[in-house]
Structure 1
């Protein structure tokens, strides 16, 4: 059955790929803040909707989400504007979307949120990390400290909510290579990088996986077919968000 989908952060590289996958079979609305991007959204088989995570009120997002089956949150400041803007978009913008979903009357949409691998309390090092993972985590946190901090605060807020169903996908480093349809999923290491095509494929597959509710799913480059890896992770039922 065709679903009604809303993508927040619709002009992102992964979001445009996601819209191209889902648009031909579903009703996709992509939220953007820049009118100049409307043609790109339409070319990706989606309908553009102008709203700003920083300036539009929660009520506008609630209206946009009414009747939707799934909301994808794939927005981010992208490191532009310093920590203040990262906080405004990646944290406060995310909470605005969470609040807007909670305010939907009747059946609320599911949320599929794009986070990032290794988003966690910096004092809690996952047991499966190798020395290479630990070194990479230290380098990344030194380079994009504000991003990791505010993504963590947003994710920490989300895991406490039970008014709607949610799933997180946590990709590692991204590349623009053609997708392989394969990945390493669930309690992964921090490398290798993964194609944006493959992240979009995983997000599209999660559309039908209501049984992934409450899970944070790590994904990096690998050799397991994405559908198979997601299925194994979901059946295991062990979240990758360690707090």
Structure 2
């Protein structure tokens, strides 16, 4: 498979690229900062330098030509402003969808967040509220498209602990738990290889099911 990961220098994206190239997939990581090229290439992936906040779909689409799937793993990141939550977490996700459609790529995996269906707690601050609303807006915009085979993954609280290899994965709500970034990447890799996951919105938490079994159970 050929897979393009938007937000290719992110923590989940680098883990995912490593898993995919190890199993023989061809991977391109889309990054904004050319200084991140070496980190992405160290995973075995190639690099496309495109600023998703300023590019047009026509700038990004050529990098998606021939891809079997795209993954949106970008995020404005800690310390960013409320405005950038919208321009990255929502608008860039829509840009990737437009570019994928232009390049003839239907398969799209969106890394979202748990809790986006509820009104965000204003006590957590303006940036948090903007983040949750941007993630939900991205989901809604992509779900309304007929030119994508979309899977939405909503992980719980992310940690950098070592992979556990066991998760809880459901099309319904789950009790919020931590989940390692390693395990999120492994679930994304499994979803990319599993037919029948398009159209699903999946909650992902730490749990007891081996990842292959958890993915097989939802398709």
Among 109, 112, 124, which residue is 1:112 paired with? 109
Q: Which residue of 1 is the match for residue 6 of structure 2?
A: 8
CA distance in 1, matches of 2:156, 2:123: 11
Q: Check whether the contact 1:80–1:86 (CA below 8 A) recurs between aligned residues.
A: no
Offset at residue 138 of structure 1 (A)? 4.3
Q: Which residue of 2 is the match for residue 71 of structure 1?
A: 70
CA distance in 2, matches of 1:30, 1:149: 26
**Which protein shows a greater Rg?**
1
Offset at residue 121 of structure 1 (A)? 5.0
CA distance in 1, matches of 2:47, 2:2: 14
Q: Which residue of 2 is the match for residue 227 of structure 1?
A: 212
Count of aligned positions: 216
1:19 aligns with 2:3: no
- Per-residue CA deviations over 1:135-154 (Å, capped at 9, x if unaligned) read xx748865711100111111
Q: Check whether the contact 2:6–2:74 (CA below 8 A) recurs between aligned residues.
A: yes
- Per-residue CA deviations over 1:69-100 (Å, capped at 9, x if unaligned) read 01011001014331111111111111111111
Among 172, 176, 198, which residue is 2:160 paired with? 176
Runs of 4+ in 1 over 2 A off after TM superposition: 137-143, 187-191
Structure 1 spans left out of the alignment, 5+ residues? 123-136, 235-243
Q: Check whether the contact 1:188–1:219 (CA below 8 A) recurs between aligned residues.
A: no
1:215 aligns with 2:200: yes
Find the residue that maps to 2:186 and give its secondary structure: helix
CA distance in 2, matches of 1:63, 1:161: 21
CA distance in 1, matches of 2:107, 2:121: 33
- Per-residue CA deviations over 1:36-68 (Å, capped at 9, x if unaligned) read 111111111111110011112110211111110
Q: For residues 224 and 45 of structure 1, do their structure 2 counterparts lie closer, same or farther at Cα, with a shift above 3 Å needed?
A: same
CA distance in 2, matches of 1:112, 1:5: 10
Q: Compute the TM-score of the two structures, normalised by the length of structure 1.
A: 0.84
RMSD of aligned alpha carbons: 1.7
Find the residue that maps to 1:220 and give its secondary structure: strand
Q: For residues 169 and 117 of structure 1, do their structure 2 counterparts lie closer, same or farther at Cα, with a shift above 3 Å needed?
A: same
CA distance in 1, matches of 2:124, 2:186: 27
Q: Check whether the contact 1:68–1:109 (CA below 8 A) recurs between aligned residues.
A: no
Bigger shift: residues 221-230 or 183-192: 183-192
